[in-house]
Structure 1
Amino acid sequence: MGTNNFKEQIKPFFWVEHESTVSVCLNVGEYKTEIFQSREDEGFEGNGYDWESLARVFIEEQAPNFVESVDFDSEGSMFCAYSEDKEALKEFILQFKKVCENEVLIMDLFSRTELD
């Protein structure tokens, strides 16, 4: 898979390479905000921590193979997942993005997401 094609596929998530790790990040508030709005009354804002909580449920239920290889370093304005294993992180974000695009599946996962 070409790098440009990959970067297109994961948009609006974006890929960042560091010396020993790689990250995939998302500036919050520009993608799938309706997911979090559905539970706004419970305190979900769609911030980086909410995205991270959702991603953790995804890994736990759909992709346990990433438990060891993918870590998170989110903040209020940005979701961020990182890994020393470039291929694992690529697989993770491709699968997670696919789930985000499946409204039924993402809302199902979000129903079991807890506020951080």
Structure 2
Amino acid sequence: MTINLHDFDGEHSLTLNAGGLAADDAVTAAGYEPNGYFWEGLVQFAWPEIAEDLDFDSEAGMFCAVGSPSALARLKATLESVITSPEAVRDIVARAEASGFEFDD
């Protein structure tokens, strides 16, 4: 359940292993797979001002964002409270669905 920041050859990334998170049951109950693609969509919907500064390279088992250290630090601080809060995930998913947003899970 750890969000990791990486610096490899000058490229900065943030990774989150999907699955085993406190919010997984809320994701599943909403009809989605709690995988890297779901979390990517959640970030793009909930925090477009952060997402616009990032590139994504998620996989089924891992969420991955690539960007500047400052954008990734903002994302990390934001995500930490959400991955541990089923209520926050339910709220974001409800708002996304009401707006017509489709998660790619």
**Structure 2 length normalisation: TM-score?**
0.79
Equivalent residue for 1:78, pick from 62, 65, 74 = 62
How large is the Cα RMSD of the aligned pairs?
A: 1.8
1:87 correspondence with 2:70: yes
Give the Cα separation in 2 of the matches to 1:67 and 1:47.
18
2:16 maps to 26
Asked if the contact 1:35/1:110 (under 8 Å) is kept, the reply is no
> Post-superposition, which runs of at least 4 consecutive aligned residues in structure 1 deviate over 6 A?
none
Larger RCO of the pair (alpha carbons < 8 Å, separation 6+): 2
Structure 2: runs of 5 or more not aligned: none
Give the Cα separation in 2 of the matches to 1:33 and 1:102.
9
Q: Cα deviation per residue 1:1-28 (whole Å; 9 max; x = unaligned)?
A: xxxxxxxxxx511121112221111111
Q: Cα deviation per residue 1:39-88 (whole Å; 9 max; x = unaligned)?
A: 22xxx11111111111111213xxx2x243222110111111110x1112
Give the share of equivalent positions with the same residue, in percent: 28
Structure 1: runs of 5 or more not aligned: 1-10
**Structure 1 length normalisation: TM-score?**
0.72
1:104 maps to 87
Give the Cα separation in 2 of the matches to 1:91 and 1:82.
12
Aligned length: 98
Task: Indicate the structure (1 or 2) with the bigger Cα radius of gyration.
Answer: 1
